[in-house]
Amino acid sequence: MNTIKIILGDITKADVDAIVNAANSVMLGGGGVDGAIHRAAGPKLLEACKKVKAINGERCPAGEARITEAGNLKAKYVIHTVGPRYGIDTPSETLLASAYRSSLDLAISHACKSIAFPAISCGVYGYPPEEAAGIAVSICQRPEYESLAIIFYLFSEKMTAVWMKAVYGSPVLAKSPVPI
């Protein structure tokens, strides 16, 4: 059985080998969790992002992932992935699954033992949380990711309950912070 934990809290505090960022395709920072990760990591992260090869200004298309150093974060790496803008980047389900898979594959290929995910695409990109959680959890439960400790950092009680239901099948309400 794969190790999947859920925490209600700020992903920038995660003590893991790799923190996943819900970035945009330009990969030079933004709002939401992207902004929080860049603020906590400091300017080294932006410098590392600038070194990632860009094609027509785009460093990471939707559904793909890129890895950089993590600046001042506790983590060794930041894995930047771009989820779909719901209903705009299509098929959204395939692209969201691919964002999770690409991130997990990069973690494995860089010998990571632990990885923290936010709810990719569930903020300004508008993905319905229940659908997103189902996709996220089904990818993370695949046997090829058994060696990774996977932690989801959710930012509200509502989102935490949605993820708990996807992992455990019951809508247990979480209190902050809740390592399960």
Q: Which stretch binds ligand AR6 (CB under 6 A): 88-96, 105-113, 116-124, 170-178?
A: 116-124
Q: What is the DSSP annotation of the chain?
A: --EEEEEES-GGG--SSEEEEE--TT-S--SHHHHHHHHHH-HHHHHHHHTS--BTTBSS-TT-EEEEE-TTSSSSEEEEE-PPPTTTSSSHHHHHHHHHHHHHHHHHHTT-SEEEE--TTSSTT---HHHHHHHHHHHHTSGGGTTSEEEEEESSHHHHHHHHHHHHSS-PPP-SS---
The residue from 8, 33, 48, 96 that contacts ligand AR6 (CB under 6 A) is 33
Q: Which of 137, 153, 164, 166 touches ligand AR6 by CB under 6 A? A: 153
Smallest gap, in angstroms, from Cβ of residue 135 to ligand AR6?
13
CB of 110 to ligand AR6, least distance (A): 22
Binders of ligand AR6: how many residues, by CB under 6 A?
Answer: 24
| Residues engaged in binding ligand AR6 (CB under 6 A) | 10-12, 22-24, 30-34, 36, 83, 118-125, 153, 155, 159
